[in-house]
Amino acid sequence: MTYRAQLDRLHAAGTYRQRHPVTSAQGPEITYRGKVVVNLSSNNYLGLAHHPKVIEAAKTMLSSAGLGAGAARLICGNHEVFETLEARLATFKGTESALLFGSGYTANLGLLQALAEDGTVYCDRLNHASLIDGARLSGASLRTYPHRDNNQLNRRLRRTEGPVLVATDGVFSMDGDLAPLRELADLCTRHSATLLVDDAHGTGVLADDGSGSVHLAGLNSTQVPVQMGTLGKALGGYGAFVAGSADLIDYLVNRARSFIFTTALPPAIAAGALAALEIVMSDEGQQRREALQSNRTYLANGLKALGWNVPDCNTPILPLLVGDTTQAAALSERLLESGILAAAVRPPTVPEGTSRLRVTVMCDHTHAHLDKALAAIDKPPRPSGG
Ligand SMILES: Cc1ncc(COP(=O)(O)O)c(C=O)c1O
């Protein structure tokens, strides 16, 4: 089939994707498709992407180090700021060591490829695509288990021989719910499996100190030996990291192909991330998390009052389940006309029949922003065709 014919099929299915221009910073308001709208689609939960201290730190590094790192870390691209940031990330996550990667997607590819070898990888069915892709590319046998279903996983683990890696999102990116990490950690201990938690959406946001879903669940780096986090969401920048034992990190330096065979992050990005991390770890970070939580509660209560079924977990991701792909896209377009950006998420990002608007809150949304959104969102649409 030609590219055009395949694209026509995507159009017909309502799953055609396109890029739209953004001409402002990622604030609570954003200029999107030429229009200033309330931004309910950003992962910049703590508003750090446009924080003056973060911008200043990146600018200063940009002036001294220039734009690019010039080479891979293992050649001559290992600017000292990377190691400073890694040491702070390890402290933040309560691990011996940490290692930066170019993005969350490449971190997961490298992790799975390096750690899974020829064993078995178990993935929650709603894990982020990068974990699934990493498992597929690793050469290990990939098995999925029903979402958050530890009983099923337990049954399957009993029948599995050889090395096992269990990989899960800490916060599920499209549903905003939490993985049952305590039970997963127990299961992994019982079955001698390694637990990998991708905390892309918990890092900076969850637990009193913002360190994420592992700490929120009362677990430590022995129970969860492999923790991944991103710098591109609550930390407001770009890139990702793995935190764990010194041996794990040393092993990844030597084995993770997506670490070895790629140019290092721009040093200015690392300097910006370091400034963002210092804010996350400070009283200001605590205040930003409290404001985020309060906005989450405000929006969730408003949505519930309208009749939306919103999960009761304190993450900034609020899925508005519509079901039908075309209806979800139409709702998103209607909201945009009313000045609200709430992107529709469709298959294959989510399973068939579960298209939704993925609404996210930020700490610097005002009640006026959220009230405007609630007025535009209105009641859930009736299912089409019946
Ligand atoms: C759970 C999860 N893991 C990994 C990633 C990939 O991170 P990045 O955007 O840094 O590539 C994302 C991003 O959407 C995510 O939601």
What does the alpha-carbon distance between residue 249 and residue 386 come to, in Å, rounded to a whole number? Answer: 54
* Per-residue confidence (pLDDT) for residue 383, from 0 to 100: 67
Where do the domains of the chain lie? 16-45+283-377, 52-280
> Does the Cβ of 128 fall within 6 Å of ligand 1?
yes
| Ligand 1 center from residue 18 Cα (angstroms) | 19
**pLDDT tens-digit series, residues 167-221:** 999 999 999 999 999 999 999 999 999 999 999 999 999 999 999 999 999 999 9
Check if the beta carbon of residue 243 is closer than 8 Å to that of residue 221: yes
Residue of the CA atom closest to atom 6 of ligand 1:
104
> Does the Cβ of 134 fall within 6 Å of ligand 1?
no
pTM of the model: 0.96
Segment 140-152 mean pLDDT? 97
Ligand 1 nearest-atom number relative to CA 239 = 10
| Ligand 1 center from residue 360 Cα (angstroms) | 15
| Ligand 1 center from residue 230 Cα (angstroms) | 7
* Per-residue confidence (pLDDT) for residue 14, from 0 to 100: 87
Task: Select from 101, 130, 174, 350 the residue to mutate for testing ligand 1; criterion: most ligand atoms less than 8 Å from CB.
Answer: 130
Phi/psi of residue 240, each to 5°? -160, 175
Q: Tell me: pLDDT of 386 over 50.
A: no
| Ligand 1 center from residue 229 Cα (angstroms) | 9
- Superfamily of domain covering 16-45+283-377: Aspartate Aminotransferase, domain 1 (3.90.1150.10)
Distances (CA, A) of 165 to 194, 224, 248: 5, 11, 14
> Does the Cβ of 238 fall within 6 Å of ligand 1?
no
Task: Select from 43, 103, 105 the residue to mutate for testing ligand 1; criterion: most ligand atoms less than 8 Å from CB.
Answer: 105
Q: Tell me: pLDDT of 283 over 90.
A: yes
The fold adopted by the segment(s) 52-280 is: Aspartate Aminotransferase; domain 2 (3.40.640)
| Active-site annotation, residues | 173, 201, 233
Greater confidence (111 vs 313) lies with: 111
